[in-house]
Amino acid sequence: MASIFKTDDGTWRAQVSVKGKRKTKRGFSTKRDAQAWASDLEREAKENTSSDIPDRPFSEALERYRDTVSVKKRGQKFEVRRLDRWLGNGSDDADPLCFISFQNLQAKHFAEWRDRRLKEVAVGTVLREWTVLSSVCSYCSKEWGWLRENPMTKVNRPKEPDARTRRLLAGEFEQLMIATQYDIEIPPESKSERIGAAIVFAIETAMRAGEICNITWEDVNLERRTVHLPKTKNGNPRTVPLSTTAVKVLEKLKTLDDCQRKAFNLKSDSLDVNFRKIRNKCLIDDLHFHDLRREALTRLAKKVDVLNLAKISGHTDLRILQRVYYAPDMGDIALMLD
C-alpha cells in the first residue's frame, strides 16, 4: 500500500514498497501526481511477478531457442556459436543476462547488454546479435508464454553504421591474381588458384561466397549461360546469368576430378580465410570478399537496368541495393551527362 505525504515545502512525497524494498519519490506538485506514480509502480511490480511468468533464468530461453529454432536455420552454425558464447559454453563467461529470472527481466537489462556490447565489438556485430536476442524474446512471448511481451521493443536499437563503399582499387585485382597464380586459361588445381577463380567469378556474377561454394553442376546450364541457386540468403531461389568470362571459369573447373560434384570444391569458411591471407600477402587494406559483390553490381549497373540488376543480385528491396551495394564513380557518371 502506497503512502502519500505532504512535505514542509508544500510538495508531495510518495512511498511504496516493491518486493520488500521501499521506494520514495519527492517533489510532486499535487497529491494526484504522487498517487499516480505509486500506482504505476505497484502495477508494474504486480505484472512482473505474475504467477504465469516462470521463475527460471533467461539462459533456459537461449538453450531452448538454440536447440529448437536455430538448428532449423540455414545459418545455424553461426547462430548456435553466438548463443553458446552467451551461455558461457566456450572461453568467455556467460553473459549477465543468463542469470536474470523471467519474473525480473525488464527492458533495462537489454539496454545494459547493448551498452556493454558496444564497448566490446562493432555496431554491426551488435545489430546482428540484437536480431537473435529479439527473436529469442519474441518466441518467449508469442510461443512459449515465458514473457508477456518482447522487452527489446522498448529499447533503442543502435544506429545503423554507414554502409561500406569499398571497391577494388586500381591494381588490386592484378595483385590478387598474381598472388593466387590463377590463369583463366588453365584449370585451377591448387587451393590458391581455386580462390583466384572464385574471385573472378564473384566479380562477374555478384554472387556471395556461400552461393559460389554451393554451386553444383546440376544447377549449371552452360548452354544457356545460367546458374540456378535453389537456396539463397533471403530464402528465395534465383537464376544468375553468366558472362563469357564466368562460363570460361566453370568450363576449366569442370575438367578437374575433385570438382565433379561441387564446381569450386571450396567451403565458404575456407574461402574467406584464404582470401584474407592472400589479401594480406598483397598488403591490401580493408578488402573483404563480400566487397567483390559491390564491385560486381556497380560494374553490372552499366550494362543492365536496375530491375534486372536486382534480379541478378536477389535484392527484393531496391533501397538496400542502392545504399549498400551500388557504389558508382561520380566521375564516370559525369561523363555520361555530356
Closest CA to 131 of 146, 148, 150, 116: 150
User: Under a CB-based contact definition with an 8 Å cutoff, are residues 297 and 309 in contact?
Assistant: yes
Quote the CA–CA distance of 270 and 278 in Å, as a whole number. Answer: 12
What 8-state DSSP symbol labels residue 175? Answer: H
Quote the CA–CA distance of 52 and 108 in Å, as a whole number. Answer: 21
> Out of 65, 139, 182, 325, which one is annotated catalytic?
325
Q: Within a 13 Å sphere around the CA of 41, how many CA atoms are in the beta-carbon half?
A: 20
Which stretch of DSSP H or E encloses residue 130? Answer: helix 123-142
Q: Is 233 a catalytic residue?
A: yes
Quote the CA–CA distance of 330 and 304 in Å, as a whole number. Answer: 18
Quote the CA–CA distance of 299 and 326 in Å, as a whole number. Answer: 9
> Out of 43, 233, 277, 323, which one is annotated catalytic?
233
Which stretch of DSSP H or E encloses residue 97? Answer: none
> Out of 139, 279, 315, 326, which one is annotated catalytic?
315
User: Under a CB-based contact definition with an 8 Å cutoff, are residues 287 and 166 in contact?
Assistant: yes
> Out of 66, 82, 114, 208, which one is annotated catalytic?
208
Q: Is 325 a catalytic residue?
A: yes
User: Under a CB-based contact definition with an 8 Å cutoff, are residues 59 and 98 in contact?
Assistant: yes
Which residues have a catalytic role annotated? 208, 233, 315, 325
